Chain A
Amino acid sequence: MITPEIAIAATSSSVAGFLARIAPLTPVTYLPLLTTHAPPQVAIEVSGVEKTFRIPTQRVDSLKERLTTFSQPGYRELHALRDLSFEVERGEFFGIVGRNGSGKSTLLKILASIYAADAGRVRMAGRLAPFIELGVGFNNELTARENVELNGVMMGLTRRDARSRLDAVLEFAELQEFVDLKLKNYSSGMLVRLAFSMMIQSDAEILLIDEVLAVGDASFQQKCADVFNEIRDSPRTVVFVTHDMGAVEQYCHRAMLLHDGGIRALGPADEVARSYLRLNFEQAPGGAADMGGMADITLVDVWLEDGAGERITNVEKESELRFGAVFEAHRHVEGPSFGFAFDNADGVEVTGFGISLPDGTPDAVEPGQRIRLSGEIENRLQPGRYVAKCWVHREHNLANLVLHSPHVLDFVVYGREGPGAVSLEHEIGIWVDAGAAVDGGTGASGR
């Protein structure tokens, strides 16, 4: 499935040019709005927040069990957040990143008043509109009109305010014609548009957004991006949780990297994004780093791009899909081979490829050398979420694992759903044979 135009450049001399290549979107034009006058105003202040979940070793969830179990059920404590303190300034686009289980969601839920913190204090200036999951709080039996009102009130508007915003919400979502359609008849794309539009129109001073960009069609995504850019330069404050480092660098003024419930990094978005990537690639569970020390070869960057060379996180079905990755060698490695594979949401490996250094160059890499992979992948993927994994072997031997990262990239393919795991190109004809009396038949063919 991979066209053979993957090129590998293992030249350390072109590092600078190469860096310019891998980071076309990085220039974070962080021009603080706050440089003008007035000291920065704090919009969110989190001090000393802790959260521990007690996970019962034996779950008792009925009265009967409670009454018939004499021993006190034991607990295992899970420290989701440890003594967390930070501030978000007014007007800031603040990213929160971290691996799964780092405490991101818990923090978000505490900020949104869904969980109560065990200790510490959270203060905010202004109203907060949480947008933690798409379409939560929608009632499928109600029309869009009624849902806009209900959701508006949920986000803290009065009923009159919520109603008066109906037109703006529907216009942004491009759903004016469907105002009186029950939500159960909406497509998922329409729901997403409605939910996103509602959040934008909620007028709250502080927005809490959890990973929503991976939705909608291309034109709506562009619209979301425009809105994000607009909000970025407005006095509204945004807390944005995502795994997508491209988005972090593109939108966020500052970001925070959570790890094991504490702050690993806090600062300019691009630096934090890099820390995240380092954390992810070097310490992936089961990775070579776990076997002791730094891996001999590490993955520095991995991305998808469209036909125009723009980095993307979401791919339209059957559109041109290009793939790129950069490795860095830290030791001499003989005969390295590099592999990538894509799993779909069901955990099924859909496709993959492996490649070694090109003929005519030394079959080894030296410390400091960077290895660049890029090429086009025939995009036959069905809509859905995909995860890319990566590994590196030495001496072309599958047993000699240098690096193994089970989750280096995730992306969404959007478009019309079809059957199966991939959509193969097909040319199939169909005929109705009308017996011997009639000469010939009626034919049709579809691609």
Chain B
Amino acid sequence: MSAEPAGLELRDVPGPSALGGGRHRFFELLWLMSVTEFKRTFFGTVLGYVWSLMRPLLLFAVLLLVFTRIIKIGGSTPHYEVLLLFNIVLFGLFQEATGGSVASVVGQEGIVRKTQFPRLVIPLSVVLTALFTLGLNMIVVFVFMLAFGVAPMLTWLLFPVILLPFLVLTCALAMLLSALNVRFRDVAIIWIVVATALNYATPIIYPLSILEEDPTLRHLLMCNPLTPIFQQAHIWMIGSAETESVWAAAGGPLPLIVAAAIFVAVCVAGVWVFNREAPRIAEQL
């Protein structure tokens, strides 16, 4: 064996796993899968990017009309229009990533059953693709922010600090959902309902300040781990002096502790379930 070039001694074949096949290959595949998917949506057709931009913009236009002319939900919140657009785009990442990843592993059946493929790449590439989309959409959001007279702030630089926990939560859910959906195919259907509920349980179309008279509900909303993230984003990106801090909105540590606990629980569950299911996914498809 001594004359053998390195790398040719017998090594254990670890079998399929979430990461399988080395870190290097994992990241290369993740990158390639995401980029190709991204290219496919945006550059495959002439109007690709325009269309994908149209969706949040049209939604924004409708909601803006409804909530500033009809329901007047924005109240006295400064720059409500921009906040609405920002929230829609940010939550768009969550919706696109979780919604897309639920069926991703089942949808990539061919790859999973016929090739040696690190399973984790599949849901994570959906999240990464959604992140690329967010990046493109944020350009438009910033243009609107400036156009609507939001003064550039130093706290804009803190956007990645918001994005990090948001992405971690999204990835964890993507892992959890994609792995569970292999076993239970109705997870995809259930998730549509849950995602819609989360859309309303997070201050996206309404600012948290409209709940001033109902502290109980506001505290309850704070237990949703997405709420502190969106509230902090509001403060750092658009906020004015009147915007309530996360701490004040929670009215005490308890809702925040619950939110943190849910956050950690989802992350642990995502990693645990995915790791446990990964070696057997091919057999269950």
Q: Is A139 interfacial (CB 8 A cutoff)?
A: yes
Give A99-113 as 1s and 0s: 1 = Cβ < 8 Å from B's Cβ atoms.
000000000011111
Q: Which residues of B contact A130 (CB under 8 A)?
A: 115-116
What's the interface size class on B, roughly?
35 or more
Instruction: Find residues 53-93 in chain B having any chain A CB closer than 8 Å to their own CB.
Output: none
A63 touches B117 (CB 8 A): no
State how many angstroms separate the Cβ of A259 from the closest Cβ of chain B. Answer: 22
User: Is B4 in contact with A41, judged by CB distance below 8 angstroms?
Assistant: yes
Residues B157-207 near A (CB distance < 8 A): 183-187, 190
Question: Given that A111-B13, A122-B13, A154-B29 are known contacts, is A116 also in contact with B115, CB under 8 Å in the complex?
Answer: no
> Does A285 count as interface, using CB distance less than 8 angstroms?
no
Interface hits, B1-50 → A, CB 8 Å: 1, 3-4, 7-16, 20-22, 24-25, 28-29, 32-33, 36, 40, 44
Min Cβ gap A38→B in Å is 8
Q: A137-B110, A139-B36, A141-B40 are in contact. Are A125 and B10 (CB under 8 A)?
A: yes
On chain A, the residues within 8 Å of B283 by CB distance are 53, 115
Asked if A305 is at the interface of the complex by the 8 Å CB criterion, the answer is: no
Closest to B282 in A: A114
Asked if A124 is an interface residue, CB under 8 A from chain B, the answer is yes
- Contact B1 A114, beta carbon cutoff 8 Å: no
Contact A114 B44 (CB under 8 A): no
Q: Would you give the shortest CB distance from A129 to chain B, in whole angstroms?
A: 9
Residues of A within 8 A of B13 (CB): 111, 113, 122-124
Contact of A113 with B14 at beta-carbon distance under 8 Å, contacts A66-B184, A150-B36 already known = yes
Q: With contacts A62-B184, A66-B184, A136-B110 known, is A125 near B36, CB below 8 A?
A: no
Distance in angstroms between the alpha carbons of A61 and B110 in the assembled complex: 19
Do residues A110 and B28 form an inter-chain contact, with CB atoms below 8 A? no
Task: Select B115's contact among A63, A111, A114, A124, beta carbons within 8 Å.
Answer: A114
Knowing A62-B186, A113-B20, A153-B32, say if A136 contacts B11 (CB, 8 Å): no
A107 to chain B minimum Cβ distance, whole angstroms, is 12
Nearest chain-B residue to A109 (Cβ)?
B282
Name the contact of A205 in the complex, choosing from B8, B24, B112 (C-beta under 8 A). Answer: B8
Specify which of B15, B20, B36 is in contact with A117 (CB 8 Å cutoff). B15
Docked complex: B72-131 residues within 8 A CB-CB of A: 110-117
B3: chain A residues at CB < 8 Å are 38
| Chain A residue nearest to B16 in the complex (CB) | A113
Q: Does B251 contact A (CB under 8 A)?
A: no
- Closest Cβ neighbor of B12 among chain A residues: A123
Contacts of B22 in A (CB 8 A): 156
A146 at the interface (CB under 8 A from B): yes
Q: Which residues 258-285 of B sit at the A interface, judged by CB distance below 8 A?
A: 279-280, 282-283
CB A21 to nearest CB in B, in angstroms, measures 40
B282, A154: Cβ atoms under 8 Å?
no
B183 touches A61 (CB 8 A): yes
Task: Say whether B115 contacts A154, CB under 8 Å.
Answer: yes
In Å, the complex CA distance between A30 and B7 comes to 28
For the complex formed, measure the closest distance between the CB of A436 and the CB atoms of chain B, giving whole angstroms: 55
9 contacts between A and B (CB under 8 A): A41-B8, A114-B115, A115-B283, A116-B279, A117-B15, A125-B9, A126-B7, A128-B116, A205-B8
Given A136-B111, A205-B8, 10 extra CB contacts under 8 A: A42-B10, A63-B190, A109-B282, A112-B115, A114-B116, A116-B280, A123-B13, A124-B11, A136-B115, A141-B44
